[in-house]
Chain A
Amino acid sequence: MSLLEVNGLKLRFHSLDGPVEPLNGINFQLEKGEVLGLVGETGCGKSITAKSVIKLISYSGGEIINGTIIFDNEDLLSKSEKEMQKIRGAKISLISQDPMTSLDPVYRVGDQIIEAIQVHKKLHYKEAKKEAVELIRLMGIPLPKKVFYQYPHELSGGMKQRIIIAIALSCDPALVIADEPTTALDVTIQAQIINLFTKLINKFQSSFLLITHDLGVVAQMCDSVAIMYAGNIVEKGPVRKIFHSPKHPYTEGLLQCIPKMDKKQKKLNAIPGSVPHPRNFPTGCRFYPRCQYVMKKCLSQQPELIEIDNEHFVACFRYFKNSDGE
C-alpha cells in the first residue's frame, strides 16, 4: 500500500477572464520511504500539485474539482479544515521555496521551532527547547545554542533554509514535501543543503516529494521521478531508467539541455518554444507544438500514461502498440 496516492487531480482557479484549469488529472504514487522527484519547467503546475496535497490550495485561490488524494489510507479531500490542521506539520510538512521570507521576522528562530513542536506535541517549553536545539545541531549548524536565540534577519539564506528544514522535520512527519528547496540559494550552499537532505533521508524514515527543475538534484537524491509538462505527468519511473533511456520527447529534450563536460558543444541545446499558458493549452497532446516527432494523432487526442517497461510509464503515442501510425 503506498503512502500517498494522487489520482486524477484537477484544479480550478477563478480569474477575471474566467476559470483556469492548470492541472489535467495528475496521477502518482509515493511509497513509504521513497523519494520522488517532480520535475518540470516553470508554470507546469508542480507547486500547486504540492499545495493541493496538503490542501492549502484554497488559500491561494484555487479549488480542487476532481480527483482523490489518499494519504495513509485516508481520503484527505473529505477531511475538514480542523482535521487537516492536525495532519499538516505532524504527518505531512512542506518546505517552501524561498528561505528568505519563510520565517516570521518578529520571533527568534528557536521559538519558531518550538512553536512547530508544540502545535502537535504536548511538551513543556524546556523539553521542546532541548528538542529544538538538538534539531538545529542535526541540521549541521555550528553553535546551535547561539542560533537558537537569533532572529531570522541575522541568519544567512543557507542557515534559514536549514532552520526551515528543522521546522519541517520537527514532528517527524511521514511525508515531507520540499518545494524547490535549493532554488533560492547559491550553488555552494545548494550542494550543502542537498548533502544535508541526503543525510536526513537516511536518518528519518520519511518519504520525500521533491519538487524541482534541477535534474542534477533529482539524480542525486531521488529514487523515482515524474516529469511534468503543462499540467500533465508525461513520464514517470525509476530515476536510472529515465535518465538512461528517456522515452518521452520532452524528457529527452530536458536531458539534452544539460551541458556536458566531456563533449565539446558550441551551443547549448534548447527545446524550441515555451510552456503554453493554462488558458490556451493546445488540444490533443499538449507538447505537440514543440515536439520533433509530432504525428497526426497528436493534434487531436491526448495520450494516456502507459507502462512500457517495469514501472516505467510514458504518455506518448509513439509507444502505443496498436496506434494508427506504427
Chain B
Amino acid sequence: MQQNIRRSKKKLKLNEEKQYTPRNKSRIILLKFKKNKMAIIGLAIISILIFTGIFANFIAPQSYREQNLSLKNQSPSTDFWFGTDEFGRCIFSRIVYGARISLKVGIISTGISVLIGIIIGSISAYYGGFLDQILVVVMDVMWAFPTILLSLIIVAIIGASLNSVIIAIALSYWVQYARLIRGQILSLKNELYIEVIRSLGANDSTILWKHLLPNAIIPVVVAATLGMGSAIVLEATLSFLGMGAQPPTPSWGSMLSNGRTYLFIAPWSAIIPGIATIITVLGFNLLGDGLRDIMDIKMKE
C-alpha cells in the first residue's frame, strides 16, 4: 500500500518534470492530408508534372525542336508514343517540355500576383481611409475587365513572349487575392487579440505582418492553388491565340492551336495537349479543394 502510494507519487513527479516536446503542427496537417483522397490525387498529379518539368531533358526521348518532315503527322506508335505533329516532331517530347513551360508560368505568375495582392490588399484594409478608397476603386476597375482581354492588352503592349505572358497573368489575377486578403483583414483587425497586442506596445508592422497576415493567409493559400490552374489555362489561351510563347517553344496552347488545322488527319496533335492541360488543371483544383478542408486553423486531433 505504502509502496504503491510512493510509486504513484514518483510517477506524478516524473510527469511534471518531463520535458514536453512541441506538438508538431506539420504532423497534424500531414495526418489530415493522408485522409483526404482527393488532395492526394491532386498532389500526385502535380508532383508527377513537376518531376517531368524538372527532368524533361532526361525523360523526353527526342528533342522538342528537331523536325523530320518525312515522319509528319504519324499516329501514335512505339517510337512516337503520342504521334508526331505537322513537322514530324515527337509530340510526347513536346508535351514533356511543355509541362515545364506551363508550370513555370503557373507558379511564377501566381506567386507574383499573390505577392502584389497581399501587399495591396492588406495595406488597404489595415490603414483604411482615403488610401483604401482609392485602392478599392482601382481593384474594382481591374475586376471589371475580363481577364483574357486584360492580359491580351498587356501582352500586346509589352510584346509577345513567355515572360510577358507571366507578367500579364500576374497583373490580371492579383485583384482576386487583394480582395480576398482585404476582406479577411477587415474582419480580423477588429478582433480583440489585435487590440491586446496593440496594448502591449506592438507597432503597425508587427501587427499587420506578424499577427493579421498569418490569420488571414489560409484562404489565400487555397485560392492560390486553384489560381495556378487558371493561370495555366490562361497561358494556354494566350499561346493558342499566338500571344504567348513563340515557336518552337512547346507550349500546350500553341500545340493545340497548330494541331487544330490537322484535326481530321492527325487528331492526336490537338487532343493530347488538351488532355495534358485538363489533367494539370484538375490536379491543381483537387489539391486546392483538399487544402481548403485541411487547413482549418483549429486543428482537431
Contacts and interface: CB of A to CB of B under 8 A. Distances in A.
B191 A106 contact: no
Given A59-B195, A145-B20, A148-B20, A104 B201 contact: no
B144 interface: no
Given A85-B201, A153-B298, A106 B20 contact: no
Contact of B196 (A106, A107, A108, A164): A164
A143 interface: yes
A120 B23 CA distance: 28
A56 B199 contact: yes
Contacts of A93: 199-200
Given A105-B298, A143-B16, A148-B20, A94 B196 contact: yes
Given A101-B191, A104-B211, A105-B297, A149 B20 contact: yes
B200 A167 contact: yes
Nearest to B193: A104
Contacts, number: 78
Contacts of B197: 104
A15 to B, nearest CB: 16
Nearest to B216: A106
Interface residues on A, range: 35 or more
A120 B203 CA distance: 12
Contacts of B34: none
B199 A146 contact: no
Nearest to B194: A104
B202 A54 contact: no
A102 to B, nearest CB: 5
What are the 6 closest A-B residue pairs judged by CB atoms, nearest first? A89-B200, A89-B201, A88-B201, A94-B199, A101-B192, A146-B20
Interface of B: 15-16, 19-23, 191-193, 195-203, 206, 210-211, 214-215, 297-298
13 contacts: A54-B199, A82-B203, A88-B201, A89-B199, A89-B201, A89-B202, A93-B199, A116-B200, A145-B20, A146-B20, A149-B20, A149-B23, A150-B23
Given A88-B199, A101-B192, 4 more contacts: A54-B199, A89-B201, A104-B215, A120-B201
Interface of A: 54, 56, 59, 82, 84-90, 93-94, 96-98, 101-108, 115-116, 119-120, 143, 145-146, 148-150, 153, 164, 167
